[in-house]
Amino acid sequence: MSGPLTSALWIALSLAGAAPAEKTFTLATMPRIDVHTHIGNSWEILDDVMALRQAIQDQLHVDLAMWFSLGSAEPPDMAELRKRYQGRIQFCISDYKIQDGLRFSPQELVDWQKQGVMGFKFYPGWQPGVQIDQPAFAATFAKMEEIGMVAASPHVTNPCGTFGRRTEWFAEPVEFWRQQRAWENVLKKHPRLVVVNAHMLWLCYSDEQLDCLRYMLKTYPHLHVDLATTPVFLHAIGRENLRDFMIEYADRILFGTDMASQWFVPVLDKKLPKIRDKVPQYQRYFEFLETDKELPSGIQDEQKMRGLALPLDVLEKIYFRNAMRVYPHVAGALTQLGYFAAADAATGGAAR
């Protein structure tokens, strides 16, 4: 990695994911990070992401500083990626068909980490009968613990509630809770595995489910969750209960949207707008987290919810500080982009 950071400092930043406490940000200046997107690996699409960044600045006066792409089995050339975008786009490796076994061997995980990938995403969620805690996967999770590779927004179950039927969702709770418990078995066996579970672990469609998420976060200190897609479900939770949860567990929640590009259409089976037209999707997240406006919710906006109006320090953690602490490379990239002084980033956070 070229730039003003020394090699030793870069290694320290990458391992510690330091997050400075002294810097004062406003809602307009804080560097927001979307940790859960599916934007593909073509240069044309990645250029569109930078056009989206400019559109968000122009229309919403918000600094969307970085995106993590979770949907490509293989990232583009990592050196060229850093050269073109200065760290604003980071990649994870992924596996969407784990019924055939996790696609990367433990040694391949080491190799990918050396190339600079952020973590490993896997997805048993739409495959009923696939046990994420099967013994064949144990060596992979053990290697991830050993080398500090983050489980990047793994999607380990699908929603379960009374919001309507979709073929890949669980209309009854048995399969939902079976997969939840299978994932908990993994966390028990691999207590040092650092995880950012996708979609609040889908424990976001009732006050009772949120209580279960509280239990999971309290029990497993290396577990975190992202907010991708969840605003369409969260109207079913009491607003004050949800707001209290977001404040209580602010250190464990990361901002993510599930924003996808056209390349992801075969997976989603629907037509998507171009990336640069995604500003309203981000605006809805920002209004939900930052204001107390009444907002549309539900799968087809058939419900209403009131925004959470979270405190600024909580928003900082959700938008960027937690990502700096949990993921490698983020603190170094933000420092080189000018958001922090190198000394602040080196001393302002604790090692994970």
> Of 230, 193, 214, which is closest to residue 308 (Cα–Cα)?
230
Reported as half-sphere exposure (CB side, CA atoms, 13 A), residue 266 has a value of 4
Q: What pLDDT is stored for residue 8 in this prediction?
A: 44
Alpha-carbon distance of 204 to 209, in angstroms, equals 6
Instruction: Give the start-to-end residue ranges of the domains of the chain.
Output: 7-347
For the chain, the first-to-last Cα distance in angstroms comes to: 22
The answer to whether the pTM exceeds 0.85 is: yes
> Of 97, 89, 86, 96, which is closest to residue 117 (Cα–Cα)?
89
Radius of gyration of the chain, Cα coordinates, nearest whole angstrom:
19
The DSSP H or E segment spanning 132 is none
Question: For residue 78, with 0-12 CB atoms within 10 Å meaning exposed, 13-18 middle and 19 or more buried, which class applies?
Answer: middle
Which CATH superfamily does the domain covering 7-347 fall into? Metal-dependent hydrolases (3.20.20.140)
CB 235 within 8 A of CB 298: yes
Alpha-carbon distance of 290 to 42, in angstroms, equals 33
| Residue-level pLDDT, tens digit, the chain, 352 residues | 334 343 444 444 444 444 444 568 999 999 999 999 998 888 998 999 999 999 999 999 999 999 999 966 678 889 999 999 999 999 999 998 887 788 899 999 999 999 999 999 998 866 667 789 999 999 999 999 999 999 999 998 888 876 554 545 777 788 889 999 999 999 999 999 999 999 999 999 999 999 999 999 999 999 999 999 999 899 999 999 999 999 999 999 999 999 987 544 444 445 566 787 899 999 999 999 999 999 998 888 888 999 999 999 999 999 999 999 999 999 999 999 999 987 565 544 333 3
CB 252 within 8 A of CB 198: no
DSSP 3-state of 249: coil
Residue that has been written with the tokens 């707008």 in this structure: 273
**Helices and strands of the chain, counted as H and E runs:** 14, 12
Reported as half-sphere exposure (CB side, CA atoms, 13 A), residue 214 has a value of 14
Question: What is the secondary structure of 229-286 as a DSSP string?
Answer: TGGGTGGGS-HHHHHHHHHHTGGGEE----EE-GGGHHHH-S----GGG-HHHHHHHH
Residue that has been written with the tokens 């969307």 in this structure: 64
Identity of the residue numbered 319: Y
